[in-house]
Structure 1
Amino acid sequence: MTTTPDAGLRQDRHLATEIPGPLSQALMARKDTAVARGVGTTMPVFAARAAGGVVEDVDGNVLIDLGSGIAVTTVGASAPRVVEAVEQQVREFTHTCFMVTPYEGYVAVAEQLNRLTPGTHEKRSVLFNSGAEAVENAVKIARAATGRSAVVAFDHAYHGRTNLTMALTAKAKPYKHGFGPFAPEVYRAPLSYPFRDGPDVDGGAAARRAIEVIEKQVGPENLAALVIEPIQGEGGFIVPAAGFLPALQEWCRDNGVVFIADEVQTGFARTGAMFASEHEGLVPDLLVSAKGIADGLPLAAVTGRAEIMDAAHAGGLGGTYGGNPLACAAALATIETITADGMIERAREIEALALARLERLRDADPRIGDVRGRGAMLAVELVDPATGAPDAELARSVAAAAHAQGVIVLVCGTYGNVLRFLPPLAISDAQLEDAFDVLAATFTELS
C-alpha cells in the first residue's frame, strides 16, 4: 500500500485568489447565520480537500498545513491506509454500540494501546470520543481506585471544555469565562516554565515548589490524582525543565496518588516518540490519548495499570459512541502507518529542520524570546524585547499575515503570544522550507 498523497491535489502552496476567496466568503456568511456565535474559526477559508502537507480551500487556494487540525491528522489528512480501512469498515457496519454488541476493532485498539504506552505492567484501556471526555473519565477512575476526591492540575494547563475539564484548565478566556460554577475539589500547582522561571529554577527546584503547594493546600491523603501534560499544548507548548516530571511521578508513587499523563496533543509520534512521556522515562499510572490516535476520526482513550483501571464498577465507564467501529478502524490503520512509514523518525527530522529555521529567526529578531518543543510540536514565544513582556498582538499579526500567504499557523499560550507549529508528519521538507520562508518574510515585514 502506498502512503503518497492524493495525486489529484497539488502539494505546493498556491494562491488562486486572495484569502479569503469569494466562495469562502459566501460560506462564512452562511456560517454566521446558521452556526452559534460561540464557534470561532482561526482562518476565514473553507476546506474542500486535504492530503499530505496541504489543505485546499473551496476557491482552489492550496495552503501549507502547519496545524494538522490541532495535532489530529498526524500521519496526513486522508492517509491512504486510513481511508481504505474506514471504507472497508463502513461497508460492514457503522455502529452497534460496544456495550450492546461488542466488536473486535475496539478490542484490537485496546490491545495496541496496552502494548504501545510506556511500561511493561499489565494494562487495560477504555475508549471514548474526545480528549476532554477521556480526561474526565481518567479522573473518575482515579477517584474510584483511591477513594479520594481532590485533583491537582497545573498553571497554563488545558484539558478540555466539559465542566470538570474546564475546572482543570487554567486559561479563563475563551474556555471558562461565563460558564461557571465549575466542578469542585480541583486545585492548581505551579508548573516548570523554563523561559519564565529563569536559569535558577531547574526541574528539581520547580518540582519542590509544586509539591510544597500541593502538600500545604491539598494534602496527599486527600488527593486522588495529579493531571499533567508532558508538554503543554494550549498553554504554550511549554516543555518542563528536565527532572520536573520524574520528581512529580516519584512523589505520586510515594503518596498513593494516581499520576495521569494527558497525552491528547503529544501522543502518537508527534514529539519524536510514540508518547512524550518516554522522553523522560515516565511510566504514568494512567495515560490519556486522543487527537492523533485516529487521524481525524473521533476517538480517545484512557490506558493504565490494570488494578487502577479495573477499580470502576461494571457499567461505570462507557458511552454510546465510545470506540465507534469506524474510528477504531482508523486508529489501527494510523498505528500501522506510524510504524510502517517511520513516522517517529520523521518527527525527529522535522524537529531538526524546523528548529534550525526557528533558531535562525530568533538570532535575527529579539522579539522571538524563546524557541521550544519536541518533534513536530514546536513553538516560538513572542515578547517585547525591552521588557520580556508577552506580545500577543505580534503573534496575531504574524499569524494573520501567514494565513494571507497560504500558511496555516496557530496561536496559543496563556498570554496569547505563542506561535505553534504542528505539521503533519507526511509533510515534505520542501513544504516546510516554503512555510518558514513565508514566516521569515512576515517577521521582516512586521519589523
Structure 2
Amino acid sequence: MAGAGRTQDPSRDCAASDPETAAGRHPAPEKAPMICSSSVSGIMENRDRRLAPGFPLTPLFQHQRMWLFSGLLAPLPVWGPHSLYRLSSQQGNRLSPCGPKPPGLHCAPGDSPFPPEHPRNVKSGNFSATTEFLLLGLSEDPQLQPLLFCLFLSMYLVSVFGNLLIILAIVCDSHLHTPMYFFLSNLSFVDICLTSTTIPKMLVNIQTQSKSISYPGCLTQICFVLTFAGLENGILVMMAFDRFVAICHPLRYKAIMNPKLCRLLVLLSFLISVLDALLHTLMALRLSFCTDLEIPHFFCELAHVLKLACSDIFINNILVYLVTSLLGVVPLSGIIISYTQIVSSVLKIPSAGGKYKAFSICGSHLIVVSLFYGTGFGVYLSSAATHSSRKSAIVSVMYTVVTPMMNPFIYSLRNKDMMGALRKLISRISASH
C-alpha cells in the first residue's frame, strides 16, 4: 500500500527530472533545495487520500495542511506560514522530498514555495506598494479640460484676491477692529488656505495632462482639507455667537466679546480641527489598498479614499460618523439655537428700521452658513445614497470652491462699513502707485 501511494506521488516527477537522482547517485547535500509547492501538496494529497478516502479536502484546507507539513519538516525555532521563508533566507538550509540536490538546483521556474493565495504571491496594494493615486477630476472628456482649467483658475484667483482684499481692508481700517470683523478676517484667511489646498493640484494635473498624486501627497491633502474645513466650521459658530451676544445682550457685548476671548476661541477651534484631521489621517495610514486606485474627484477626499481600501474600514466609518456628529451636528445646532434667540429678540423691536438693521447684520452670515452646511451635508448624504461619485464631486465644488469665492461678495456688498473700507484701501493703493 505504501508503494502504491508513492507511485501516485507527483514528487517522483521532481526526482525524475534530476539526472543524478535517476541514475542512483546522490551527491553530498551541501545545501538542500527549497521545498517545491507542487511536491509538498502532492505528498499531502496522497496522505489525505489514504487517511480519508472519498472526502476531498478544500483547497484552503489543503494549503493549511501543507503549511503544517512544511513546519514539521523544517527545524525552526518559530513555527508558522513564514517558517519556510526564514529557512531559505536566513539559514540557507533547504529540504526537498525529492532527495538531496546539487547547489543551485532548486524548484522549477514559476514554482513558488508559498501557496498561490499567500501574500508573497499576491500583488499587495498596502502602504509599502501604494505609491500614487489617480485623480479623475470632474470629467474625463479631453475637450472639456481647457474649459475646466479656465473656469477653476478664474474662480481660484477671484477667491484669493477677494478674500485678501477683505483681510487688508479690516487690518487697515481701525473702525473695523471689532470681534465681528476679527472673525471675518480669519474666515477669509481660512478660505484662501482651503482653496489653495485643492485647486492648484487640479490645475497642474489638467495642464500637464497627468492625473497622478503621490500617496503622501494624497494623505497630506486630506489632512489639510479636514483642518481648514473644520476651522471654517468653528469660525462660523463663533460668528453666530457674536451676533447672538450683540443683539440679545447689547449692553454686555464689549465685556463678553473681549479680544482675549476672541483669540482663545479661534485657537481652540484650530486645535480641535488639527486633532480631528490628524486622527482621520493616521487611521487612513493603516489601510491597505487594492490595484484600483482611481479617485473620481478633483482632490483626495476622505470618503472616496476609504472606498478604495481593501482592508476593513469599519473603524474608519465609525470614526467619520462620530466626528461628523460631534463637529457638524452640534455646531449647527448651536447656530440654530442662537438664531432662534436672535429672531425672538428682533421681533420685540418696535421700529421697522431697527428690525431691518438687525436682520441685515445677520443676513450675510446666514447665507454663508446655508451654503457651507448645505453643501457639506449634501456631499455625505449623496455619497451614502447614490453610487455616482461624480455627483458628489460636483457637490464638493460648492463648499471647497464656490463658498470661499462668494464670501467676499456676500460680506462686502451687503455691508456699508466694509464697502467704505474697501474704497479707502483701493484709493490708497492707487495713490501709492
TM range (shorter): under 0.3
TM-score, structure 2 normalization: 0.23
Structure scoring higher RCO (CA < 8 A, sep ≥ 6) equals: 1
Higher-strand-fraction structure: 1
Higher Cα Rg: structure 1 or 2?
2
